[in-house]
Amino acid sequence: MLEASHEPNVVVEPLENVAYVYDGSTEGLLTAVFQTYAFHEQPQDIFREGALQPRLGQSVRVVATDDALAHRVQVGVCKRAGRQAWEAVLHASLSDDSSAGMAVWRFIRYVMARPAAQNRKLVQDLAHPIAGPIAKLSRSVMNERHLMQQFIRFEHFENDVWFARCNPKANVVPLLMDWFAGRFNTQCFVLYDEVHNVAGIYDGEGWYLAQIGDVHLPLHAQDEATMQAAWKGFYDAVAIPARYHPELRRHFMPKRFWRNILEVRDELPETEQGELPKGQECSSMGCCNQLFGEGESLDSKALLDSAALLGRCESLTDIVADAKTLQR
């Protein structure tokens, strides 16, 4: 494997049969796009770490994320294709689809080679061979975001922290945090994506992203059991047994979400319910109790926006170490 160098005076021979590997973040993918220009290469594959199976005789170039280079690509896309095209690129970069990396690279190279006037409505052309895949990936990610807005269920824990798990098909937590922070702006909460191991953390003033492993939760608040029983009772009360339609419910409320939806997870077989949050004393790693405990100051943490995942830390308590400030 080859490491992509950022040194301006280092001359690297272009490779014919090469694949690029990035860390899975939006900045990592945009850095890989920039490096294809810097090395004068046209990669056959662009994959996130752990997803690439190299072809026979293929070289692999590992790209180190550089926020400055990623920002230059973002500015270039906005200038050449407009804000709508940039948002489509952003959403596509958060997709779990294995083709997302190459689709983003092809789209950016295409718009950068054309006059800005010809690119303004390009992303709306679903039949276009370059813009169509980006538009479809973007729509898929935004559909997943819409489902998460409906089916995320928060639980109340000690120290007045609200915690929710989700299991989306795309890395949509960065796209959800502004929405939830605007509605729960007086409550500290953690939104944890157990598929991508990403947590969105809101402390009452700003929100942050962290890449974490296991999450150790404190005990439930005293009123949580009562509120859960009340919510389940409301859900049962508004149901109309004569109009019960399980197929239609699974269509509008996909069954893959049920294990994290309070009112329906009991309907799953025990083997499908997964490990549900249990009240337990906190450990020192990834602990909501420590993060939002009394007297803790979070003013020193850097704000992150929905453009990317910059917090790459081992646990929630390590978020200061790796976070970088972005302009909103």
pLDDT tens column, 214-230:
788 889 999 999 999 99
Six token digits for residue 328: 């909103």
* pTM of this structure: 0.78
CA distance 133 to 129: 7
Provide the pLDDT for residue 273.
65
What pLDDT digit, counting tens, does each position of 252-300 carry?
999 999 999 999 988 888 766 655 444 433 332 333 333 333 333 223 2
Dihedral angle, C-alpha 44, 48, 53, 54, nearest 10 °: 40
Where are the extended beta strands (E) located within the chain? 2-3, 18-22, 45-48, 59-62, 155-157, 161-166, 188-193, 198-202, 207-211
Half-sphere exposure of 255 (CA within 13 A, CB side): 10
For the chain, first and last CA: distance in Å? Answer: 36
Provide the pLDDT for residue 274.
59
Backbone angles phi, psi at 59, to 5 degrees: -85, 150
What pLDDT digit, counting tens, does each position of 92-131 carry?
999 999 999 999 999 999 999 999 999 988 999 999 999 9
What pLDDT digit, counting tens, does each position of 45-96 carry?
999 988 888 888 888 999 999 999 999 999 999 999 999 999 999 999 999 9
CA distance 146 to 223: 29
CA distance 156 to 4: 45
Spell out the domain ranges in the chain.
2-145, 152-328
Query: Residue 23: pLDDT above 70?
Result: yes
Query: Which residues face 164 on adjacent strands?
Result: 191
Provide the pLDDT for residue 58.
86
Rounded to an integer, the average pLDDT of 230-248 is 93
Backbone angles phi, psi at 220, to 5 degrees: -65, 150
Six token digits for residue 93: 């970069």
CA distance 216 to 219: 10
